[in-house]
Amino acid sequence: MTFKATRIALAAALIGASAMGASAQEFTPEAPECIAPANPGGGWDFTCRQVGKSLQDQGLLSKTMQVVNLAGGGGGVAYAEVVNKRNDSDDLIVAASSATATRLAQGAYPGNTMDQVRWLASVGADYGVIAVAADSKISTLPDLLDMIKNDPTSVSVAGGSAVGGWDHLKVLIAANAYGVEDVRKVKYIAFDGGGEAVTQLLAGSVQAFTGDLSEAKGFVDSGDIKVIAVLSPERLDGEFADFPTAKEQGVDAIGANWRGFYGPGNMSDEAYDGWVKKISDLYASDEWKEVMATNGLAPLDLQGAEFEQFVSDSITQIQTISREIGIIK
Q: What pLDDT shows up at residue 1?
A: 43
126: alpha, beta or left? (left if phi > 0; alpha if psi -120 to 50) = beta
Residue pair 302/53 in contact by the 8 Å Cβ criterion: no
Q: Using an 8 Å Cβ cutoff, are 98 and 195 in contact? A: no
User: Topology of 4-126+256-325 in CATH?
Assistant: D-Maltodextrin-Binding Protein; domain 2 (3.40.190)
Residue 188 amino acid letter: Y
Q: What is this structure's pTM?
A: 0.79
Evaluate whether 4-126+256-325 and 127-249 have a shared fold: yes
Measured between alpha carbons, how far is 64 from 55 in angstroms, rounded to an integer? Answer: 9
Tell me the DSSP string of 54-108: HHHHTTS-SSPPEEEE---GGGHHHHHHHHHHSTT-SSEEEEEEHHHHHHHHTT-
CATH superfamily of 127-249: Periplasmic binding protein-like II (3.40.190.10)
Domain residue ranges of the chain, discontinuous segments joined by +: 4-126+256-325, 127-249
Q: Using alpha carbons, select from 4, 82, 63, 70 the residue that is nearest to residue 37.
A: 70
Per-10-residue mean pLDDT of the chain, 329 residues long, equals 40 36 72 96 93 97 97 94 97 96 93 96 95 97 97 94 88 92 91 91 97 90 96 89 96 92 98 97 96 90 96 90 82
Residue 215 has what pLDDT?
85
